[in-house]
Structure 1
Amino acid sequence: MSLVSEDYLCGVVRRTALLCKLNNWSFVQEKFVNKAQNYFGELIPITLSGTRDGELVSYNIVLKLAPINEEYRVSGAVTVMFARETYVYSNLLKAYREILQRLPVRSQYIIPKCYYVQQEYCKEFIALQDMTVEGYRPYTHEMFLDLDHTLVSLKSLAKLHSLSFILQHEKPQQYEDIMTICVPLTESTNSRYMDIVKDRLDKAMKKFPASNITPLLQKLRKNCAKYFKAAVYSVGNTCICHGDVWKENIMYKYEASIICLYRDNKPVSACLIDYQTTRKCSPAFDVMYLILSSTNSELRNKYLQQLLEIYYRTLEITLKDGGIDSQTVYSRQMFISDMKTVAPACFITANTALWLSNGLQEEGHVRSKHVWTTKDEKEKAVEKYKTIVSGMIDDLTTFGYISVNEL
């Protein structure tokens, strides 16, 4: 994406300032202390200041800007994703905020304030609260989350899913209206995405020629659309899921406020971001995808049951706080059964994300942020990717979630 011009940025800030009813406004472009990988659009932190009713007012904002160059819109994927996210912030999360006002502290879900959204084609942007000012940071110093970060992430995810069930219970018509926008991911609703995940499976097979993994990858590639459909229509229940909840889309707040100590301190809260693929799906999809894409094999093998327990226990508590019996809408048995149903689609999605994050996607409109330039770097990246993929398949097989004979 080309760099945003000063004139364009000023125009975006001007519209935000007008909506915030600021007079005599000005802004300063800031820099992130830590920055996770962002593949769709550009993130620009600013401090927006002005007066309102004679008093000085200041906002810490992150502007999320869509690509303004139509070259990046050929496939339509970016346009669809920004349309989905602007809708989520202006409608779905607004409804969740109303629910959260009635829930106790233990069931609060962190939602960045949304100051303004613009949906004009090639000029889409979202003006969001800068959560780094609130002490939240991306997890950037390791490729995979540790146990504490994973547990906090799953608690936040359970609260997100609970809000969906509560909204459906309290305002079924509003829920149905939202579902007409947050549609399931299938070949008919997003053929471009399905083409991408199939292409990444093709690339994976080339890295595992004639290995014991090849037959499984071949079956996943052949029946790809079926697995994504099953994650919606062959499960115990569905809700409005995040759809892309992995390490890169989570920020954490820690016990201490000194940034240099974050690496050694435990996270106390998680904030999920990037709602571009929010959709109807099984809650188990988000859970399985987060665990597969964002933890290593050692952690999964040691703590999987603890991870599943903390998620479901948080779901139970939050639903109870919202006046809903978890056994009615999403029982533990449903959850455990759904984990197996969604496993193939989750692996396919995780493979796509990890191919990208390992610096192996060199072409297309969505490319790796850190592409390797030397032969040695590429070979090391490929071996690392292969180790990760092999570990995911071994774990899914060991846990009984995937069997080549059952696919």
Structure 2
Amino acid sequence: MLLDDERLKSILADVAKKLKVDKKWRYVIKKLDEEIVNYSGNLRLISLIDKTNDKVYKLICKTPPNWAIASIVDAIVINEYHAYSTLFPIFKSLKSSVDVDNLFPECYYIDSKPDNRVLVFQDMTSKGFERRHGNNFDFNHMTVTLETIAKYHALSFILRENDISNVYANRLKSFSEKRPECLFEFIKHFVDEWLPVFKDKYYVHVLEGISKNIERNMEECVAKAKGLVYGHGDLWKENILFKYSVSIVYYHT
């Protein structure tokens, strides 16, 4: 789904108010130099400019993809919107050593109605993060990625330990544990698509085994887990940004 100019201007007017930008503002849509492969959304990179002082706010506007498998789109979008509207603000309120400001972006606009779904959030490149170019990550990038995703998931355990009265748990009940129809076929499709990248690696047979029995493997992992964590909907390579000066990784939607 793509936004027409009139609706985009209306949305950005709301964003400008939230950012406390003077009424005199303009916006520029960045022309991408290369394709951003984002499998669960259409992205538009926007600069909102305060005309009184030329301050630039870098934003990302995201709308759902035009996929034929509606159940997959709904599952991803519903979880993602709930994460931005409810889960992330709760995580930000927790007392912890996790640097949440560099873990996920500020969200400035959410419309979750089925026919109008759109997110507008902070473009973290404005804080010095950047995308990793190329089709895959090397060992160092994968290590930093997994370490930081672990910090993100640690927030679920911190939340559980601090939520003695189940106040947060009740607010998060709309997160569904039911998987959408065709989920495993969907995941397997993309796993198989990338298997050729590892064809010369000694461990390719392990990856092939995971793909062949992906439903059983995933269900066994869930069954053996000591505790479950909250996901955020969309996790793909292009959602992972790096800040090389301090070796922090951040992933967004």
- TM-score, normalised relative to structure 1: 0.50
The percentage of counterpart residues that share the same residue type is: 25
Q: Specify the alignment match of 1:76 in structure 2.
A: 71
Shift of 1:269: 1.1
1:79-98 equivalences under 5 Å are 79-98=74-93
Question: Which residue pairs with 2:143 in the alignment?
Answer: 151
Cα deviation 1:55-98 (Å, max 9, x = unaligned): 8865221111224xxx6466232233222111101111111111
Q: Distance in 2 between matches of 1:251 and 1:203?
A: 23
**For the Cα contact (< 8 Å) 1:24–1:50, is it kept in 2?**
yes
Indicate the residue corresponding to 1:309 in structure 2. Answer: none
In the other structure, the counterpart of 2:16 is 17
Distance 1:202 1:273 in 2: 24
Structure 1 pair 241–33 and aligned structure 2 pair: CA distance change class (3 A): same
Q: Decide whether the 8 Å contact of 2:86 with 2:172 is kept in 1.
A: no
Check whether the contact 1:34–1:137 (CA below 8 A) recurs between aligned residues: no
Q: Compute the displacement of 1:165 (Å).
A: 0.6
- Partner SS state of residue 240, structure 1: coil
- Map of 1:135 onto structure 2: 128
Tell me, yes or no, if the aligned pair for 1:46 and 1:62 is still in contact at 8 Å. Answer: yes
1:149 offset after TM fit, Å? 1.8
Q: What is the CA–CA distance in structure 2 between the aligned matches of 1:159 and 1:10, rounded to whole Å?
A: 36
**What is the CA distance between 1:47 and its match in structure 2?**
1.9
Aligned partners of 1:137 and 1:251 also within 8 Å = yes
- Give the structure, 1 or 2, with the largest relative contact order (CA under 8 Å, sep 6 or more): 2
The answer to whether the 8 Å contact 2:42/2:62 transfers is: yes
The one-letter amino acid of 1:145's match is F
Matched residue type, 1:126: L
Shift of the 153–197 alpha-carbon distance from structure 1 to 2, 3 Å rule, reads closer
User: Which piece of structure 1 moves more, 165-174 or 145-154?
Assistant: 145-154
More helix by share: 1
C-alpha displacement at 1:251, in angstroms?
A: 0.3
Q: CA deviation at 1:168?
A: 0.7
Residue 252 of structure 1: how far off its partner (Å): 0.5
**One-letter amino acid of the counterpart of residue 251, structure 1:** L
The equivalent of 1:183 in structure 2 is: 176
Counterpart residue number, 1:118: 111
Query: How many equivalent residue pairs?
Result: 241
Alignment-derived partner of residue 248 in structure 2: 269
Distance (whole Å) between structure 2 residues aligned to residue 201 and residue 157 of structure 1: 20
Query: CA-atom RMSD, angstroms?
Result: 3.6
Q: Which residue of 1 aligns with 2:184?
A: 194
Please state how far the C-alpha of 1:127 moved relative to its aligned partner: 1.1
Contact residue 129 and residue 241 of structure 2 kept, 8 A = yes
Unaligned runs of 5+ in 1: 205-212, 256-266, 275-407
Question: SS at the partner of 1:48?
Answer: strand
Which among 48, 61, 64 is matched to residue 63 of structure 1? 61
CA distance in structure 1 between the aligned counterparts of 2:209 and 2:155, rounded to whole angstroms: 38
Q: Name the CA shift for 1:189/1:249 in 2 (closer, same or farther; >3 Å).
A: same
1:108 and 2:99 aligned: yes
Larger Rg: 1
**Contact 1:35/1:138 (8 A) holds in 2:** no
Instruction: Name the structure 1 match of 2:37.
Output: 37
Cα distance, 1:166–1:121 mapped onto 2, change above 3 Å: same
Give the partner amino acid of 2:251: L
Q: Distance in 2 between matches of 1:135 and 1:167?
A: 29
Give secondary structure in 2 for the equivalent of 1:115.
strand
Counterpart in 1 of 2:230?
240
Consecutive unaligned residues in structure 2, runs of 5 or more? 195-203
Query: Which letter does structure 1 place at the counterpart of 2:70?
Result: S
Tell me the secondary structure at the aligned position of residue 156 of structure 1.
Answer: helix
Deviations 1:228-255 (A, max 9, x none): 3222222233222457655332100122
Report the 3-state secondary structure (helix = DSSP H, G, I; strand = E; otherwise coil) of the residue aligned with 1:127: strand
Q: C-alpha distance in 1, partners of 2:193/2:38?
A: 22
Kept in 2: contact 1:36–1:138 (CA 8 A): no
1:27 counterpart residue number:
27
